[in-house]
Each structure stands twice: as structure tokens, then as C-alpha cells.
Structure 1
Amino acid sequence: MIKKLVTKKKLAAFAAALLLLPCLFAFAEDDDLQSQLSDVQSQMERQQQKKGEAEATIGNVFERLRVIQQNLDTAMKEYKDITAQIAETEKKIGAAQAKLDEAQKRLQAREGILSKRMRDIYMHGQLNYLDVVIGAKDFNDFANRVELLRRIIAADMDLISSIKEERAQIAEAKAVLEEEHSRQAELQAQSAAKKDEIAARKAEQQALLEKAQNDKATAEAALRELEASSNAIAAMLRQRAADRAAASGGGGSYQAVSGSGVFMWPVSGPITSPFGYREHPIFGRQILHSGIDIGVDEGTPVAAADSGVVVEADWLGGYGNAVIIDHGNGLSTVYGHNSSLTVSAGQSVSKGQIIAYSGSTGNSTGPHVHFEVRSGGEPVDPMGYL
């Protein structure tokens, strides 16, 4: 009887175990799923963090370039100011040296005369002024001898006085010269420091462009900015066309523009990149090059292709420092990548007027002028208008 009871208990325990087994498996499965979910969430968090870091690194490429360019422009201006001061210092050094040389030449001549005078006195003995006066034959001879003595004494005193004066002038010229040399050395040290700063800024600029070239995400972001800049220009010009239409209908205000329609070259130089689709030199993708690139040295004066009104003169994203001119009749021109601008928005300009100086600001791999012609806000081949 006891044996049967034990057997029944074992069977009951086994049955209970069988009943609990799915629950145990379920618990095990839940733990595994929970672990997998935690792993996935951790990976998602890591990826999100990486994305955030990448976006922070990418940032606004052309905004960062604009800041770099501003710092570079400031350093260049300070370097030019220092260079001008060095040139002015060199002029002062030259003038001081010329004055010193002249004074030394005069001193040498006067010291020569004084040496001869002293030699004559040594060879012939000291002139006894009393003997000269007493030896006069009559009053006229006496007066003549007194006047002669007066002149000799005055000449000797003038000679000695002029020698003292020349020596003082030489000492002063030497002091000025020494001061200007010290100033020049200080300015040259400042100039070297500014050169280093300019080189560092350019290296920073180049590094950012190289990152855009090598980092696909950065390149895509920069490319979108470049396209946005081009679209913004088109929108700006379309708005002017709308303002023009409103003004002609009696509503709104619009600054009338009437260009000749025949464009001159903004600068003289070879076309380094024509209008049309090309592989972008930085982003490595086929995109529309909306103008022509004209190769010139940095600082070359950029002229307005025709008379008109300046629509914009500012930093325009990938275009860097740019000028947009409305020439009327739906035609406008764009001048990009300048180092500096000489006009402002709303200003009327004449054909051939200097509006900027060439450079390599914005999305640029070297100094040149990016020149666009737009009809109705859309880019067209400039060669059909030049």
C-alpha cells in the first residue's frame, strides 16, 4: 500500500514538472528575448550617438568655411597693414640714413678744415693777437687789423660751433635710425606671426574641403548646401521678376533696370571649367556646373559684365563672397568665390565697374572667378552672351 502511494506521488510530481516545463521554457525564452532587445537598444543608442557625432562633425560646411574665411580675411588685412607699416618704416630708415650720411659728410669736411687750421697754428705758432694790433702803422691799419682778427676769431668759432651741431645731428639721426630698426624688427616678427596664422587658416580651410571630399556624408551635406545656394539665387531673381511685373501693373515698387544685353568678360583669363555637367572636383559626383570658371590670380579686379542693379552682395553658401546683378529683360549675372566685394545690395553699377576682387572663398579649390548668366533665374551657358 505504501509502495503504491509513493509511486502515485512520483507520478504527480512528474506530471507537475511536465506542466511547469512550458512555463520554464517561456521564462527562459523571455529572458533571451529581453537580452536581445537590450542588445538591439544598445546598438540603436550607439548608432544614434554616432549619427549625432557625425552630424556635429558635418555641421554646415559652408558656414564653417565662411567663419574660416572671415578669420582669414582679418589676418590678411592685418598682414597688409603690417606690410604697409614695414614699407613706411623702410622709408623712414632710408631718410634717416641719408640724413646721417649727409651730416657725416659735412662733419668730415669741417673737421678737415679744423685739422688744417690746427696744423697751421702748430707749424707757425699761436697767433699773438696783441702783436698784430700793436704792429699797426696808423689808425686805418689798426682798424683793418682788428676787423681781420674779428673775422678770424668768428670763423674759428663758427667752425667749432658747426662741428658741434653736426655731431648733435648725427647722434639724433643715429637714434632715429636705431629706433626705426627696432620698430622694423618688431613689425617683421608680427608679419611672420601673421603669415603663420594665414597658413594655418588656409590649412584649416583645405582640411575641411578634403574632409568634404573624403567623407561621403559631409560631401552630401555640402552638396545640398551648394544646390540650396543656387536655388536661393533662382528664387531671389524670380521674386525680382514678380516685383517687376507688379510695378508695371501699377502695384508695388521696383527699381528699373535696363542693361545692354551684351556682356563683357568680368576678368581676362582662361576658362578652367566650362558650363554643363561635370564631376565636381571636391564631391566627386556629376553635377551641373551652372557657370564658367575663369582662372585668375587672387585679388584680380572683377568687373560688372553689364550695367544693372546689385541684387545681392554677401556670403552665399558654396559661392563664397558673391555678387548678383540684375541687368533687366530677365537677365542677371553671378560672380562667385571673391576675396572681397566693393558693392552692396541695391546699388546701381555700370558696365565695366569693379564690383569685387577674385579669390577662393566658399566651395573652391583655388583662386578663380565663377561667372554665371541666368535667364528668368535659371542658369544658361554664359558663352552665348559674351
Structure 2
Amino acid sequence: MTKRRGLIALLLTTVLLAGSVIPLQAGELEDAIKEQRDLQKKGEQARNQLNNLTYSADKLQNQIKNLATQITVASNSLNEKQIAYNQAVEAVNQSEQELKQREEDLAKRQEVLRNRVKEIYQIGQVSYLEILFEAENLSDFITRLEYFNRLVDNDQKILADISLEKARIEEETKVLQAHRDEAAKLKAEAEQAKKELDAKKKEHQAALDSNKKAQNDIFEQIAQMEADSNAIAEKIRKLTSNSGVVHGTISTYPLPGYYEISSAYGWRIHPITKQKSLHTGVDLPAPTGTKVLAAGNGEVIMAGWYGAYGNAVIVDHGGGYTTLYGHNSKLAAKVGDMVQAGDLISYVGSTGWSTGPHLHFEVRINGETTDPMQFFR
């Protein structure tokens, strides 16, 4: 956007000076000049609007870029929390299954023990004498009794172990469930954070779209101003075509030693409106303060601030030929001066809508633009 803002300087070039303004007649000519000035004011208003809109667009684009980065981070965080939550749920499920298995084991062992105790109890009811009488001898009796006692003791130990294991698993399950619940909470927070960021990005994008639409509306206004300016230029051309100034040839290069052309004459895609438009002159970069010379003999018909051109000079060479020198830092000629080719008329600058120190040089024939460089080949 910064480059785009820099190119705004070129925005109303064709709008402001589509024709030479030559105050040779009163009445209609003055009206035409006034119309040009009105267009300049409208152009400056459009420039201010564009500056504000592009500044806002820059901010919105940066905000959207930052939000996109935040959304990426939030998405990654949400994915991590989703994975952690899934793992916590799986761990709880496994622990609950293990706890259920321990409960089943305990129930089975308890049933076995109940049956065994019941048998021993029933034997005890008959009395140990029956065991003695059934035993083949005392040793057999003692063996039987010891077997029953050890069996019960072993079952009780197994029950105690299972109970301890069950208690341990229950505690672990509670811890895992707490972790699962915490993971669910963090996942919900991450989902909400991403949802809010998505909503903000959507709002900012809608604002940016509205901004772009407003810029396009201004571009349409500029296109209409350009059409109006072309009509005024045609009127001025007719009013000034009978200039009495003696025709002098255009043969002196206005900026000796500086032959680089940063923007040539001709049709191009306008950097602001994105429409095909004519660059009405050539831009010649040079340091601020560089001397600007008259391209031929003639009369200075305009010297002063001229809209997008900033400090500008227009020289009428007669026979319908005029030259324009724009964006000067200061002027060395005034309206009514008769100049010779090579005379100093101004100094290079960057006034008006300019991206840097340079001379905007135009040549018009009967108000129509032509390539200035053809006169120096």
C-alpha cells in the first residue's frame, strides 16, 4: 500500500491539465479556467479521501494479517488441546475398564470365599469329630483342618489384594477424570478463542471490502472528472488556437545532464484506478534545485501553483505549441515574461503530487499532448 500511496501523486495528472490554460481572452476562457480550478478542488478532495481510505486500508490489512497469524496459533493450540483431550478420554476409558475388571475379579473371589466359608461353617456345625471320624488317622485330620484354614486365609489375602488394587485404580480414575475435565475445559476455551478471532477477522474483512468499494466509487468520480477535463481542454484549445505569439521552435532540452526517464509518455495502466490512461508528459528525475530551462522561445502564460503539478510554468511558443514544467521547488519566471530557448525558468522540486524530486515536462500542440522526446532526437 505504501507504493500505492506514493503513486497517488500521478492520480489526477490527466484530470488537472488535459489542456493548456492560456489566459488570452476574457469571458469563455475565464469560465473554462474557473472550471479547471473547480476540478482541481474536487481533485484535492478526492486525494484527501483516497489518502484516508488507503491509510485505513493499510491498518485493516495489517490487522487482518495479525489476526490470521493469531488464528493459526489458535488453531494449532486447539489441535493440541483436542489431542490432549482425546488422550485423557482414552486414559479414563482404559482406567474405567480396568476398574470394572477388578470389580468383577473381586466379586468372583468373594463368591468363591463365601461358598468355602459356608462349607467350613457347615462342617463346623457337624463338629470336628465328624472330620476326625472321616479321617483315616490323626495326621489326616490335622492335614484336612490345616488345608481348610490355609485355603480361607489365602482367599482372604487375595480379596485384600484385589480390594487394594481396586482402591488404587479408583483413585487413579478420579485423577484421570479430573485431567479429562480440565482438558475439556481448555479445549472449550481454545474453541471459543478461535471463534472470536474468526469473527474479528470476518468483521475486519467486511470493513476492508467496504473500504475498497469506497475507493472504487472515488475512482469513478475521477473518471468523470477526467472526461469533464477533456471537454474543458477542447474548449480551451479552440479559444487559444489563434495565439499571436511568434512561433519559436522547441529544440532545447529543459534539463541538461539529466536524461533518465522515470515515467515515459504514453498509455499505461493507471497505478491508482487500474484503468488504461495516458501519461501526458515525461518525468525526468534530478536533484532538488537543478535548473530548468525553457525549451524554446515564447511567452510565460502561467507561473504558480497548479494543482497536482505543484509549482508549474507554462510557456506559449505560438502556432498552438505550449510546454509545461511541473513540480518545481521555486520559479524564476512570471506571467508575461518573454523567454528565449535555454533561459532559466524554474528549479526542480517535488511539489504537488510527486513521489520525489523530478521535472514533469509536457508539450502540447493545439491543446493535444504529444511525446516531448520527439523534439530532442
TM-score band by shorter chain is 0.3 to 0.5
Between the two structures, name the one with larger relative contact order (CA 8 Å, sep ≥ 6). 2
TM-score, structure 1 length as denominator?
0.39
TM-score, structure 2 length as denominator?
0.40
